[in-house]
Each structure stands twice: as C-alpha cells, then as structure tokens.
Amino acid sequence: MDNFDVIVVGAGLAGCAAAYKLAEAGLQVLVIERGKFAGAKNVSGCIMYSRVLNDLIPNFWEEAPVERRITNFALAFLSEKASVAVNFQNPLFNTPPYNAFSVHRSKFDQWFAKKVEEVGATVVTNIRVDDLLWKGDSIVGIKAGSDEAEASVVIAADGAKSFIAEKARLRRAFAPKHISLAVKEVVELPPETINDRFGLPSNEEGAACTLIGNTKGIRGGGFLYTNKDSISLGVVAQIQGLVSRSVKIHELIEEYRTHPYIANLIRGGKVTEYSGDIIHEGGFDMIPKLYANGFLVVGNAGSLILNSGLTLRGADFAIASGVAAAEAVIKAKERNSFKEENLSQYERFLEQNFILKDIKTFRKLPRTLENDRIYSLYPDLLCEVFERVFRVDPNPSKKLSEKVREAIRGKVSALDLLRDGIGIVRSL
C-alpha cells in the first residue's frame, strides 16, 4: 500500500492549486484524476480572473494556454427581439498582471497538471476513486477498485457533484432552487471576424458579456466571451424553474443563439463544441462543513463559487481555496496532527484570502434573485423604455419620466418597482 502526505482527488483548478502549493513545500502529494487526462472532463471554458493564480505562478500567462486577455466587459438586457447593453473598457486590463483571461479548460488543466508534476507531485489519470479509508473517525486514504493508498490528508477536489465529500459525510442534500444547469456552445469564427465584431484591436484582447433576460421567465441568464478563434455562448437556468415551466435547456440556448444581439455576433460561425454542467447558486448558506479529521473540501466540491449577478467567479475561487487548503495542511504538518481542530485553520485562511468574505457579502443575493420579474419583466421594460426614447414619430415629444410611466403602467406597481430596486442594490 502506497503512503503519501496528501492525496488530492480531482485534477481541476482547485486540486492542482492545492497540489502545486503542497509539493512546492516538499510534501509527498498524489493527485488522482478520473478523466483520461487532466481537463478531459472539463470540456468547457471560463473567464479566469488572474490575480490568485499569478500569486501562485507568477506571470503564468507567458507559458499557459490562455486564449485572450479580457479588456472589454458588457452587460446586456434582452427582451424577445431588442437589447440594451452597457459596455466597459479599461486600459489597465491590458497591462500586467492583467485582470482576466478566457481559457479552454481542457487545454489549461493539462498545462496546470504538468506544472504540478514539475514541482514533484505525482499525477495519475483514468482512475476513479470509489471510497475513502477510515481509521476510527479519521479519513486515512482512498480506495480505487482493488487498490488502496494512505495519506495524512485527503482533499476532495472532484467538482460540483463531489462523490468524495458525500463519502466523508460532509455533503448535504441540495434544494432544487439552489442548483442551476449550465450549457455552453463554442462557435468557431476567424480571429479577424471576432476582432471586427467586438471592436478588438488585436487577437490578444478579448470581450465578455453577461446576458440578462429572454429565459422564458426562468431564473438564470447567459454569458458570451471571446476565445482566439471562437466565441463561447452559454445559458444558466435554475433546474426547479426548468421543471416547473416544462422548458428544456436546449430551448433557452436556441433562444439566445437566434436573438438579434447575439445572432449578429456569431453569424457564419460553426458550433464545434457543446457541453453542460451544474452550478451551485445557494451562496453562503449552501457551503457544507469543509473539514474533518484528515479531510478537506475545495472548489466547487464545497460550493465555493460566487454568482454576483454580474460576474460568475468559480475559477479564481477554486484556485484560492486550493491554496488555502494547502496552507492549512502545511500548518497541520508542523504540529504533526491532522485532526479537524488543526485543519479547521482552512476556514480561517478562506476568510483571509477573500473567498468567505465575498460570499458573505452577497449572502442575501440568492433570495433576491428568486424574484421572477428580474428575468422577464424588467429586461422587457428596459428595452421598451429605450425604444420609446429613440423612436421618432410625428407626435409631440414627451419627457423621459412620462415615457417611463407609460412603459410600466399596468405591468408593475411603483411600490414593487421601488422595493425590487432597493433589494437588488442592497444585495449587490
């Protein structure tokens, strides 16, 4: 039976970050990945906010397979046919250490796993962990088929559906309203076409857009971002809403694909990839206990993800939680005890490195986002108001306040509008 200081289950961003930090500190680390290679199960891409990874691997973008650095951000509200968009650009996002990159996870995770091996960890792939090894009330290793491996600590980094966290008796049942289904298409286009349509000066710069509305009233939204030679288009929808309204997720992404705002951006493109995943959206109250004797939970396995309504932060939270877990293990090793009273330092490190503070800051947001008006009525009203503002006809012009009143009359009361506005502002 093999013995290690730490066994990490999952070679995604959280698992690789933990393994890198631990191996760099001289610990014996084994990373076990279910896919044929690191990233094989992560066919999707993401926007990676880069500060955390840059602290771990300085100037990682010089060698990592990043797509484009994101310099343009947009927020678009969609009615059935119209749209209102707000665009933001900042020259600072185009200078090191850079704010964010678009990445293809299948490529990026392979690179990250190789970096983990370079600092001395062992990465094995195409192996499924079936169970945990216990000694009394402590977890002391893993079982994979007929093989077993022991370790002082096991780290669960196996994603949103974490089987290992469940085996450790830390995983709680999820309410359907706190789980969303995400699907994404990758639409291939020439780099020059992407640059022209998004107003980008080079193949290195990219754009990202958050989409609100046009989801058949279901809690959710969409996203769109540029890669080197493709555009990633996706939709996220609450599973409970999909079921209650008898809507299939592919219907929503079809609505997005054919919407004029999006159709003009992906026109002539070829869909080369289609993927799906689940996302935890319960916020702080959805986070399970993250530590036990000989055990830690990181990344999506611990629901450590933040949807602020404007940005979805999963990648940098995953990396930061992996680093925090590694720091907790290193401290525990100094004390030669891996009981939960020592590993509980992990939670303190999560507080120090922003993750829990940020999730607590937006703790009220999941309840606020349960308001159906956010996903249908308000995007429609916003588009109608702008249509009234910019439409020119022979009739006498009216003030903006009067046009707004005409648009909302009979659709939402002034009191509900005020309450919703205050609730959204306070939650954000």
Tokens of 363: 């703790």
Range of the domain at 272: 177-280
71 part of a folded domain: no
What is the predicted pLDDT for the residue at 1?
56
C-beta of residue 18 within 8 angstroms of C-beta of residue 157: yes
Q: Which of 35, 93, 34, 101 is nearest to 63 (CA)?
A: 101
- Total-model pTM: 0.93
Whether residues 300 and 389 share a domain: the answer is: no
User: Across-strand partners of 427?
Assistant: none
What is the predicted pLDDT for the residue at 228?
97
> For residue 185, what is the domain's CATH number?
3.30.9.90
C-beta of residue 343 within 8 angstroms of C-beta of residue 298: no
361 part of a folded domain: no
Whether residues 256 and 309 share a domain: the answer is: no
Whether residues 193 and 247 share a domain: the answer is: yes
Whether residues 196 and 268 share a domain: the answer is: yes
Out of 239, 259, 280, a domain closes at 280
21 part of a folded domain: yes
Whether residues 371 and 324 share a domain: the answer is: no
Helix (H, G, I), strand (E, B) or coil at 346: helix
Whether residues 41 and 154 share a domain: the answer is: yes
Whether residues 29 and 157 share a domain: the answer is: yes
- What is the residue whose two structure tokens read 């590694």? 326
Q: Which of 4, 23, 2, 20 is nearest to 12 (CA)?
A: 20
Whether residues 115 and 29 share a domain: the answer is: yes
CA distance 378 to 398: 22
Whether residues 272 and 219 share a domain: the answer is: yes
Tokens of 308: 């602020």
CA distance 167 to 183: 28
94 part of a folded domain: no
Helix (H, G, I), strand (E, B) or coil at 98: coil
Q: Evaluate the CA torsion angle 166, 169, 171, 173 in order and state its sign.
A: positive
> For residue 35, what is the domain's CATH number?
3.50.50.60
Per-residue pLDDT tens, the chain, 428 aa: give them. 579 999 999 999 999 999 999 999 999 999 999 999 998 876 567 999 999 999 999 999 999 999 999 999 999 999 999 999 999 998 899 999 999 999 999 999 999 999 999 999 999 999 999 999 999 999 999 999 999 999 999 999 999 889 999 999 998 777 777 899 999 999 999 999 999 999 999 999 999 999 999 999 899 999 999 999 999 999 999 999 999 999 999 999 999 999 999 999 999 999 998 888 888 887 888 899 999 999 999 999 999 998 877 788 999 999 999 999 999 999 999 999 999 999 999 999 999 889 999 999 888 887 888 888 999 899 999 999 999 999 888 888 888 888 888 888 989 988 888 888 888 877 77
154 part of a folded domain: yes
Out of 254, 280, 306, a domain closes at 280
Per-residue b or e along 251-271, where b marks 16 or more CB atoms closer than 10 Å to that residue's CB: ebbebbbebebbeebbeebee
Out of 233, 260, 280, a domain closes at 280
Q: Helical H runs in 2-122?
A: 13-24, 51-56, 105-118
Whether residues 20 and 108 share a domain: the answer is: yes
Whether residues 236 and 259 share a domain: the answer is: yes
What is the predicted pLDDT for the residue at 43?
57
Query: How many structural domains are present in the chain?
Result: 3
In DSSP notation, 142-172 reads: EEETTEEEEEEEEEE---TT-HHHHHTT-PP
Neighbours of 299 (CB within 10 A): 31
Q: Which of 82, 105, 12, 107 is nearest to 322 (CA)?
A: 12
End-to-end CA distance of the chain: 51
Helices 13-24 and 315-335: crossing angle, nearest 10°?
A: 30
What is the predicted pLDDT for the residue at 171?
82
What's the pLDDT tens digit per position in 78-137? Answer: 999 999 999 999 889 999 999 999 999 999 999 999 999 999 999 999 999 999 999 999
What is the predicted pLDDT for the residue at 417?
85
Residues in the chain: 428
Whether residues 122 and 224 share a domain: the answer is: no
397 part of a folded domain: yes
52 part of a folded domain: yes
What phi and psi, each to the nearest 5 degrees, are found at residue 70? -85, 115
Which of left, alpha, beta for 120 (phi over 0: left; psi -120 to 50: alpha)? left
What is the predicted pLDDT for the residue at 42?
66
CA distance 318 to 297: 11
Tokens of 59: 């100037």
H helix or E strand, kind and range, residue 49 = strand 45-49
84 part of a folded domain: no
Helix (H, G, I), strand (E, B) or coil at 85: strand
